[in-house]
Chain A
């Protein structure tokens, strides 16, 4: 079944070849995860690993539960009433889904950038500094703010107006500010839920470069509906698809998870092949 296909996606990528699987360090070990909103399943039976210092992309048609899935990884779905999940998510070997695990501590280590930029109604500086101050990081705040903004490729554009309101920035700048805000607190993992979907191509490119440059310090998991983007930035790619059940139920399932190269050139599952060749979705 490993016939090479003609992918619709032919992209330039600066992605370096991945180290062999044995040398990869596991950060997440997800086993048989079901995510359910008020009795209606959003994703079922997800089993996969996420590796340190790689960019892992989650792709698939809309409605297949990609956002729901990624929000499970940092217990963000706890905020939604009626949400339950089964299965385990091991982070560095320890299950973070149990009720005795503090979600606040989980999110400290696993940060998130959202689909639409959502900077706080504060100044640019305070947006980045607030999280640090609250979490108890008090030394060298200004230096850390500068470092985060530099890593987010925003420093040069805002260094003269750190006191200006964050809301005066353009959409692409706001999103980079949100990324700076997330990495300022030095999390372990950064989850990104379609971070560039509301942005123009130039802003998108800036964010992709950012991920590429920061990979060595952080682990990225990115949800994207844009296959080209996944092909450009991701080392590993997970393809989700929609399954149907009785009574018109639909839920998302992990179909295939492999090195990006393989997913896009020699997928094992027909559904993956259909998706990446543009036959549907």
Chain B
């Protein structure tokens, strides 16, 4: 080309964008994947509702409160009441036990432990989370349950039996109490690792401000670190609760089964999740299957609520701490 033509070509405006097909394809494919995930979640909710439809139509919302589970043909009657109670009592007690221990672990690992053992001990605590629930349940049935059933449970019953919580125990140890212990073990690593991150995030200058006033370490923890991390700790506890609510396998292995509402921790019972796992394979009628799925639907609703509450707490506390970072000088 002559120099005049070259100059003319250079001066031509960039008319018409060259379509980058690669960009388009990647965006569409990747975006499609993201869309598919959203569709998947919607699909999950829909399928669960659909599976439970027969039972929803038969029992309506009364199912939720009814304490009954009678699969006998001709007298079939199902209700979620006793399992909701079981889920509530196991999860809440497990959270009650796990919370202080997790806080203690987190504090130890961030403030007290000698630097060299912090890494290894942190890894060990997180490894606790890696134990599959079926293995923990196996250990629960064959080791923990009998151990509790022959030692702690009878002792607590004889010492504090006047409290309805500590009624007559079973020797196998298969009980709500054992399930609570197993769930506590499962919640511990979750709550403690999140709390550990939160405590590490407390700015040094804040802690120094506390120490500078002449207060002890515990007073700094209680007065400065806990309030600073409180939002995140609440979210961690809620996430732990969610884990406990949803655990089916280990709980069904150790909880012993039962369909009644009572306060004796040492007898058997069932949670929403454990009932589904226990009765599913033996389910004989369509109504029973649908009712089991109805239990699953209630469980799903609980999980979603817990999950969304946790997300909301995290967002709210992030916003509150944002003031710290954006403070004008």
Q: A120-B206, A121-B324 are in contact. Are A135 and B214 (CB under 8 A)?
A: yes
What DSSP secondary structure best describes chain B's contact surface?
helix
B216: CB under 8 A from chain A? yes
User: In the complex, what distance in Å separates the CA atom of A1 from the CA atom of B290?
Assistant: 101
Contact B328 A171 (CB under 8 A): yes
* B residues in contact with A76, CB < 8 Å: 208, 211-212
How far apart are the CA atoms of A86 and B247 in the complex, in Å? 57
B224 near A104 with CB under 8 A, answer no
Tell me how far the C-beta of B167 lies from the nearest C-beta in chain A, rounded to whole angstroms: 43
Return A59 CB to nearest CB of chain B, in Å.
Answer: 22
Q: Is the CB of B219 within 8 A of A134?
A: yes
A134 to B214 alpha-carbon distance, docked (Å): 9
Q: Give min CB distance, B117 to chain A, whole Å.
A: 14
Contacts known (A104-B216, A134-B223, A135-B215); A118 close to B328, Cβ less than 8 A: no
Report whether A118 and B208 are in contact in the complex, using a CB–CB cutoff of 8 Å: yes
CA distance in complex: A178, B208 (Å): 12
Cα distance A171–B209 when bound, in Å? Answer: 16
Does any Cβ of B come within 8 Å of A168's Cβ? yes
Contact B323–A120 (Cβ < 8 Å): no
Q: Which residue of A lies closest to B115 (CB)?
A: A81
8 A Cβ contacts from A121-162 to B:
121-122, 130-131, 134-135
- Say whether B209 contacts A167, CB under 8 Å: no
B85 sits at the interface (CB 8 A): no
Asked whether, in the complex, the Cβ of B209 is within 8 Å of the Cβ of A105, the reply is no
A64 within 8 A of B: no
The answer to whether A118 and B205 touch across the interface, beta carbons within 8 angstroms, is yes
Q: Is the CB of A171 within 8 A of B327?
A: yes
A50 at the interface (CB under 8 A from B): no
Of B212, B324, B328, most buried by chain A (CB within 10 Å of CB) is: B212
Provide 30 A-B residue pairs closer than 8 Å at the C-beta atoms, listed in order of the A residue: A76-B208, A76-B211, A76-B212, A79-B208, A107-B213, A111-B213, A112-B208, A114-B212, A116-B205, A118-B203, A118-B205, A119-B209, A120-B209, A120-B224, A121-B206, A122-B227, A130-B223, A131-B215, A134-B219, A135-B213, A171-B327, A171-B329, A178-B209, A181-B209, A181-B213, A185-B213, A185-B214, A198-B329, A199-B329, A200-B329
Could you tell me which A residues sit within 8 Å of B by CB distance? Answer: 74, 76, 79, 81, 104-109, 111-114, 116, 118-122, 130-131, 134-135, 165, 167-168, 170-171, 174, 178, 181-182, 185, 187, 198-200
Instruction: Mark B residues whose CB is within 8 Å of A.
Output: 115, 203, 205-216, 219, 223-224, 227-228, 321, 323-324, 327-329
